[in-house]
């Protein structure tokens, strides 16, 4: 989009001409606690004035504080945390860890999955357009999401890992059924395969639970995180179950877990806790899903909490452009051309949702009239 944002506050952005936009996309689900949240700005500024970086060969107590707060808020107190810089890196390391752990190579991923653009993460991403020939040597097979039979057919004792998004994001906001996640958990338990939950987009409270897979009541072996974790500061991580034994050289990073990144991630967790944002995402988001489902012209609404995909009977490119340029509301698309993706800050207000709904209603009527001509 030809928009150049220069300032943000809460769920609002301003471009260089001074136009104001309602941001319902958060730059791909990254803005979790709103733009320029005062606590975040204060924490990062004061960290910058002290020390912004030193290598992982020295002690950095911020990493411990971050791991402790994350464990507590997510109910994964017993998991360890490896810190890196992005979602792709988190998945790359998770897949490596899985293979280090059981010595196997075969990976199961799912149709329409997106796990990142590094070598193994992109091999587990169901999009040939972003895979280079060098990525094709990895042993990854793609199965239809929620297809129990296909999964049982392909899963065997040579399977190293199953990687699945808590809710598929890029693929068009598709939710794995709880029974499907439970099946994967059970089969992995039987053979020692590793269950990796990619919560890069669906995590950090967005779905109305800290992690989307917690709606299914399962516990994966590895959980990958990024996006909302730093509210815009690049940081990612792998949460690792206690059954993994670390050995020297397994994981490493220069920038991962640096002081500034930790300060950003700690500020995000502080705000999520203080403003009760996980519960708010559940209440606000689920009501929003109900309202959108009842709107004329909307074919289907998928998702949970504030991770929402609204599908229409027509490609949404024109609708998105109208919302952005005529009404100054930013939304997202997905690999499914008919699905509008909503990934706002978890601090979104009820009146901002109401503004979007009435605008969508108007814009939708215009689109439907144009299509009818
Ligand atoms: C589910 C999921 N996993 C991984 C990634 C990759 O994250 P990054 O772009 O930070 O490498 C993304 C990015 O969109 C994602 O949506």
Residue with CA at minimum distance from ligand 1 atom 4: 115
Residue 39: the pLDDT is 98
Check if 96 has its Cβ closer than 6 Å to any atom of ligand 1.
no
What sign does the dihedral 94-205-79-47 (CA atoms) show?
positive
Mean pLDDT value across residues 109-138: 95
Share of the chain above pLDDT 90, in %: 95
373 pLDDT above the threshold of 80: no
Closest atom of ligand 1 to 28 CA is: 14
Atom of ligand 1 nearest to the CA of 89: 11
User: Are 319 and 303 spatial neighbours (Cβ–Cβ below 8 Å)?
Assistant: no
Q: What is the enclosing helix (H) or strand (E) of 22?
A: strand 20-23
Residue 213 has phi, psi (to 5 degrees) of -65, -15
Model confidence at 1: pLDDT above 90: no
Render 218-275 in DSSP notation, one character per residue. ---SEEEE-GGGTTTS--EEEEE-TT----TTSS--SSTT-HHHHHHHHHHHHHHHHT
> What is the per-residue pLDDT across 338-367, written as a single tens digit (0 to 9) for each?
999 999 999 999 999 999 999 999 999 988
Domains of the chain, first to last: 5-33+276-372 (3.90.1150.10), 38-274 (3.40.640.10)
Q: Please report where in the chains the tokens 């699905």 appear, as a residue.
A: 339
199 CA distance to ligand 1 middle (Å): 9
308 Cα: distance to centroid of ligand 1 (angstroms): 17
Q: What angle do CA 272, 289, 226 make, to 5 degrees?
A: 40
In terms of Cβ atoms closer than 10 Å to its own Cβ (0-12, 13-18, 19+), residue 87 is buried
User: Is the CB of 115 inside a 6 Å radius of any atom of ligand 1?
Assistant: yes
pLDDT per residue over 186-221, tens digit each? Answer: 999 999 999 999 999 999 999 999 999 999 999 999
Does residue 226 line the site of ligand 1, with CB under 6 A? yes
For residue 208, the model assigns a pLDDT of 98
Using the atom order of ligand 1, give the atom closest to the CA of residue 165. Answer: 1
Question: Which pLDDT band, with edges at 50, 70 and 90, does 137 fall under?
Answer: confident
The verdict on the CB of residue 169 being under 6 Å from ligand 1 is yes
Q: What percent of the chain has pLDDT over 70?
A: 100
Q: What is the pLDDT of residues 164-185, one digit of tens each?
A: 999 999 999 999 999 999 999 9
Q: What is the pLDDT of residue 48?
A: 97
Single pTM value for the model: 0.98
Pocket test for ligand 1, best of 115, 165, 220, 232 (most atoms within 8 A of CB): 115
Indicate if ligand 1 lies below 6 Å from the C-beta of 88.
yes
| Ligand 1 geometric centre to CA of 291 (Å) | 29
Residue written as tokens 């357009």? Answer: 129
Per DSSP, the three-state class of 305 is coil
* 187 CB within 6 A, ligand 1: no
């Amino acid at each position: 989009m030809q928009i150049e944002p220069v300032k943000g506050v809460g769920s609002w952005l301003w471009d260089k001409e001074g136009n104001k936009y309602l941001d319902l996309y958060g730059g791909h689900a990254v803005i979790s606690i709103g733009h320029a949240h005062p606590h975040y700005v204060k924490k990062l500024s004061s960290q910058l004035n002290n020390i912004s970086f030193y290598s992982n060969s020295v002690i950095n107590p911020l990493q411990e504080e971050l791991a402790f707060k994350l464990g507590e808020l997510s109910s994964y107190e017993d998991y360890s945390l490896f810190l890196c810089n992005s979602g792709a890196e988190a998945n790359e390391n998770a897949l490596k860890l899985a293979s280090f752990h059981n010595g196997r190579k075969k990976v199961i991923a799912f149709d329409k999955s997106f796990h990142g653009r590094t070598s193994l993460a992109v091999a587990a991403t169901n999009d040939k357009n972003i895979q280079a020939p060098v990525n094709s040597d990895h042993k990854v097979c793609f199965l239809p999401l929620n297809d129990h039979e296909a999964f049982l057919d392909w899963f065997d004792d040579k399977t190293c890992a199953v990687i699945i998004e808590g809710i598929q994001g890029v693929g068009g906001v598709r939710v794995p059924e709880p029974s499907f996640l439970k099946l994967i958990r059970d089969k992995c338990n039987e053979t020692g395969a590793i269950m990796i939950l990619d919560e890069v987009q669906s995590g950090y409270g967005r779905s109305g639970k800290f992690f989307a897979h917690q709606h299914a009541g399962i516990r994966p072996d590895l959980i990958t995180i990024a996006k909302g974790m730093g509210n815009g500061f690049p940081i990612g991580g792998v949460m690792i179950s206690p059954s993994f034994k670390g050995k020297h050289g397994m994981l490493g990073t220069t920038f991962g877990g640096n002081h500034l990144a930790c300060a950003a991630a700690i500020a995000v967790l502080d705000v999520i806790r203080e403003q009760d944002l996980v519960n708010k995402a559940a209440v606000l988001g689920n009501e929003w899903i109900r309202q959108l489902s009842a709107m004329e012209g909307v074919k289907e609404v998928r998702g949970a909490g504030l991770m929402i995909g609204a599908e229409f009977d027509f490609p949404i490119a024109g609708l998105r452009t109208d919302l952005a340029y005529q009404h100054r509301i930013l939304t997202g698309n997905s690999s499914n051309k008919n699905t509008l993706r909503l990934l706002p800050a978890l601090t979104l207000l009820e009146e901002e949702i109401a503004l979007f709904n009435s605008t969508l209603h108007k814009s939708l009527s215009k689109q439907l009239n144009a299509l009818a001509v």
